Amino acid sequence: MGKPILDIKKITKSYGEITALNNFSFSLKKGEVLGLLGPNGAGKTTLISILSGTVKDFSGTVTFKEKNLFSDRKLKNHMGIVPQDMAFYEDLNAFDNLMFWGGLYDISRAELKKRALELLDLVELSARAKEPIKNFSGGMKRRLNVAIGLIHKPELLLLDEPTVGIDVQAKVSILDIIKNVGVKGTSVIFTTHQLAEVEEICSRIVIMDKGTLLADGTLDQLIKIVGEKEIVDVEGDFSAADISEILKKIDFAEILSVNDNLVNLAFDNTDKIPSMMELLFKNNIPVSDLKIKSPNLEAVFLKLTGRSLRD
CATH number of the domain that residue 159 is part of: 3.40.50.300
Where b means 16+ CB within 10 Å and e means fewer, 20-55 reads bbbebebebebbbbbbbbbbeebbbbbbbbbbbeeb
What predicted TM-score, i.e. pTM, was given to this entire model? Answer: 0.84
Q: Rounded to an integer, what distance in angstroms lies between the CA atom of residue 243 and that of residue 296?
A: 24
Stretches in the chain below the pLDDT threshold 50: 311
Same domain membership, residue 244 and residue 219: no
Do 95 and 207 share a domain, yes or no? yes
**pLDDT for the residue numbered 277:** 93
Residue 311 within any structural domain of the chain: no
Are 110 and 125 members of one domain? yes
The pLDDT assigned to 56 comes to: 83
62 inside domain = yes
pLDDT of res. 167: 79
β-bridge partners, 13: 21
105 and 61 fall within a common domain:
yes
Residue 303 lies in a domain: no
pLDDT at 103: 87
AA letter at 219: L
* 184 and 272, same domain (yes or no): no
Report the alpha-carbon distance of residue 100 to residue 148 in Å, rounded: 9
pLDDT in tens, 62-84: 999 999 988 887 888 899 988 87
* Residue-range definition of the domain harbouring residue 152: 6-223
> Are 43 and 29 in the same domain?
yes
**Is 308 within a domain?**
no
- Tally of structural domains, the chain: 2
Bridge partners (DSSP) of residue 37 are: 207
Query: What pLDDT sits at residue 214?
Result: 94
29 lies in the same domain as 76: yes
Looking up residue 285, the CATH number of its domain turns out to be 3.30.70.1150
Question: What are the residues facing 228 on neighbouring strands?
Answer: none
pLDDT of residue 302: 86
How does pLDDT run across 255-279, given as a tens digit for each residue? 888 989 999 999 988 899 999 999 9
